[in-house]
Structures are given as structure tokens and as C-alpha cells.
Amino acid sequence: MKAAPTDRDPDTIAAIATPPGRGGIGIVRVSGAARRVEAIVSGVVGRTLEPRVATYATFRGTLGEPIDRGLAILFAAPASTTGETVAEFQGHGSPAAMRLVLARCLELGARLAEPGEFTKRAFINGKLDLAQAESVADLIDAASATAARAAARSLAGEFSREVRAIVDAVTELRMFTEATLDFPDEDIEFVRASDASGRLARLRASLDALLARAATGARLNAGLAVVLVGRPNVGKSSLMNRLARDDVAIVAAVPGTTRDTVERAVEIGGIPLTVVDTAGLRATGDTVERLGIARTWAAVERADLALVLVDARESGDGLHDEDRAILAELPAGLPHIVVHNKADLAGREPRTDRGAGTGARAHVWLSALTGAGVDLLEGEVLSIAGVDSAGEDAFIARERHLAALHAAAARLRAAAELLALDRPPLELYAEELREAQNALASITGAFTADDLLGVIFSRFCIGK
């Protein structure tokens, strides 16, 4: 027997939906069962509302006293963002006034929403799939205009549509394969006659293309941690200022001026970067400078990319013995670019060399002082990020999306290897297809564990 609803219905939620602080407009949002939301609306504005019509009203407290004035809007289920009946009280952006309106909603039977609960309800009620729901938070957190546009494309469902298209193709291949298992004497011939190998190859190519776009989207979302390292006075701080387009680091001719790491968020070609200027690397007896050098190597360990600055005036290949020692100390596998700074003083034109044979991804000659050649360096950084420029067809992807795509690709690769055998074990082949389908379905939430949902939505802000 269903329990009677209590005065504080746990399925009716409320929260302030606008950012903390003062503003021109403040919004309190309520979502839940129709009769509960309508009762809250009546208690706040003293009247019923026509759905989807903005009504100017006075918001009133417990004793009927006015606490604010603004617009009240009711969105009847299922035509709302959450799929439930939703009410919004749009008043002035006073934190105190919004708290009073929220307190009145709670008094009338709502409870305070958990982080991301409005978006979670939209997912549960089929208004968004999981990838679209995650893109809501990504759009809010977008660190660049390019990332915001990419998140908007994901919210519109572009990423999800491509994932579903591949899932449909896997499903079709599974259906045909599993149907042939009922005819054990002819199953191999059926599979070969249907060009299963060709279908699978085309499917893998589509998945690889999607994975490449998703990797670009992940870079847009997370960005790169870039560390500047080198001997003292090679121009690390000057390059930091040039990339940041601001004087964020002290530049002086005195060696050892930079004693600690200096971080700055910058954007290059739509890719957000965290650039870290560090203390010059050299043998020193100065205790404070040694601490700065230790922090330099700690920053290198955390970096996605190292820019190793050297003085372009060095003879020969432009590398000092100490530069070579720094390069040798870099972590294995860390991409790095050798930046030959002060090219103007060395009488050298800006250029890029990818065949210098030092293990670096490239050598770039530039002048941080004049800015000449910095565009060449930015192009190399974007290349390492996976894009020469953040494409207009990119969409935001998360690490879990990449993990799911990689898992699906591995399953399809295993399926192709099985299918290439003289007598393919079709039961195992079908199982690999099933696992690939499950991995892809986890992206949109068609197959997702409840505990993962809890982790995803707990990272949202309250009110979304």
C-alpha cells in the first residue's frame, strides 16, 4: 500500500538557481509533483498560475508579508526541463531576498535540492541522456569560448547521436551474428556472405573517428598543464608574460629572480592552458633557491607538456651542456619542445625544426621579447594537444567518455581478430560485440551503474 504523502514531500526540491552574490535577477527554482509545486506557488504568490505564462506578482512570507516582487512562471509536466512540474520565482538578485523566497518554499513542503539534482531528474525522466546532462556542467565550467561552443553542441545531442549511430550498427551486427548461431553447420558461411568483416571494419573506422573528436573535446574540457623550465636568465618569465599577454612574472637580469612557481591560465587556439613559470635550474648553495628548484621538478612531474628554454646565442646546435642535462632529467614520455629564445639577439629568424634529434617534439626559434616566432610555438603546442586549431565540429568529452570509447575500440579489435581466424568462434565474437555495445551505451546512460550516476551529479552546482 502506497504511503500517504507527508507535509515535507521528499520528491519536491527547491534551490537558488543563480550564482552566489548580488545581481540584477535572482531565481529560485522548484521541481516535483504537480500538486505539491502548485501548492508552493499558491503559498508564495497567493494565486494559481497559467502554465508557461510569466506573471508579475508579490512573493510573500509566512504571515503574508511581502519579501520580494518579480515574475512567477509555472511549467507543467512533462513540458519542463526536468520532466516534472517546475516553478520559477524570478526576483531581484539580493542574496537575502532569495534566501527568504527559498525558505518559504522549504516551509511549504519542498526540500533543498542536492548538487545536480535538477539535471539528474531531467536525465531520469528522459529529457536528456547522460552525455547531454554532463554537458550542462561542462558548459557552466567552460574555460574558453571554443569550449563553451563545444559543450553547447554536446548539450544539443551531437555527441550522443554519433554514439547512438555506432551502437545501432553494433546492435545490427550482433543481431545478425547471434541469429546465425542457430545454424551451426552454416554459420561461418552466413557470416562471410554478409560481409561481416567489411561491416566491422567500417564500424571500427567510424569509432576511431569519433574517438579522435572526443580526444579533442577532452583537451578543450581539461586543457593542458604546460611548464617552463631551463637555466636562469634564458627568458622563461618573459615567455610566460608573452603567452599570458600580461606582466604576470617578474623579469630581471639577475639570475635566480624567480624563486617559486607562478601559474597563469591562458588560452591558445581555444585550448585552455595552465602555464607554470619556474625557478631556473642550476647548482646553487642558496637554500631558498634550492627549494624553488625542487618545486620546479615537482611542477614538471605534474605537467602535460614541458617547454625547455635555451639561449639561441649558444654556438653549434644551440644547446649548452646544462641544457642537455635538463633534457636528460625530464620524465620519460613527457612531450617537450625546445624553445631557442633570444633569436633576435642571435641574429636568427624565427623557425621550427622537427628533426633536431634531441628527443624533443620540435625546436622553435623565437624572441619572447619581441614576440617574433611565438605563433610558431603556439602552433606546436596545439599540435601536441591533438589539434592544429580547435575545430568548430568539436564537442566536449570527459575522461569517462574516452575510457568507454577506448574499451569499445578494444572489444571491436578483438572481434576483428576472432573473425579473421579460419574457423571463427562466433560465440566469442558475439560476446565481444556485446561488450562493445555495453561500453558505448554507458556514455549516454542507456547502461550505467547507479553509483556512477551519484558521482557524476554530485559534482554539479546546487540549482542545476
Query: Helix, strand or coil for residue 312?
Result: coil
Q: Give 237-240 contacts, CB < 8 A, sequence gap 24+.
A: 237/262, 237/277, 238/341, 238/368, 238/369, 239/307, 239/309, 239/339, 239/341, 239/368, 239/374, 240/264, 240/275, 240/277
Q: Is 432 inside a domain boundary?
A: yes
50 shares its domain with 186: no
For position 69, what pLDDT does the model report? 96
Q: Is 119 inside a domain boundary?
A: no
Q: Which residues, 6 or more positions from 100, have their beta carbon under 8 angstroms from its beta carbon?
A: 59, 61, 67, 68
Question: What is the residue-level pLDDT of the chain in tens, covering all 464 positions?
Answer: 334 444 444 589 999 999 888 889 999 999 999 999 999 999 999 999 999 999 999 999 999 999 999 999 999 999 999 999 999 999 999 999 999 999 999 999 999 999 989 999 999 999 988 888 888 888 887 777 777 877 888 888 889 999 999 999 998 888 777 766 665 555 556 566 567 788 889 999 999 989 888 887 777 777 788 888 888 888 888 888 888 876 655 444 444 444 456 788 888 877 788 888 877 776 555 666 667 777 887 888 888 888 889 888 875 566 888 888 888 888 888 888 888 999 888 888 998 888 666 677 889 999 988 989 999 988 888 887 766 544 566 777 888 899 999 999 999 999 999 888 878 788 888 899 999 999 999 988 876 556 656 766 777 777 77
Q: Which residues, 6 or more positions from 234, have their beta carbon under 8 angstroms from its beta carbon?
A: 280, 309, 310, 311, 341, 342
Query: Helix, strand or coil for residue 373?
Result: coil
Q: Is 148 inside a domain boundary?
A: yes
Domain end residue (candidates: 78, 113, 148): 113
- Grid cell in block for residue 4: 500517504
Per residue in 15-42, pLDDT (tens digit) is: 999 988 888 999 999 999 999 999 999 9
Domain end residue (candidates: 113, 147, 162): 113
Per the structure, how many domains does the chain have? 3
410 shares its domain with 337: no
The residue range of the domain holding 59 is: 13-113
For position 86, what pLDDT does the model report? 96
Q: Is 122 inside a domain boundary?
A: no
Domain end residue (candidates: 113, 148, 163): 113
Contact 377, 337 (CB under 8 A): yes
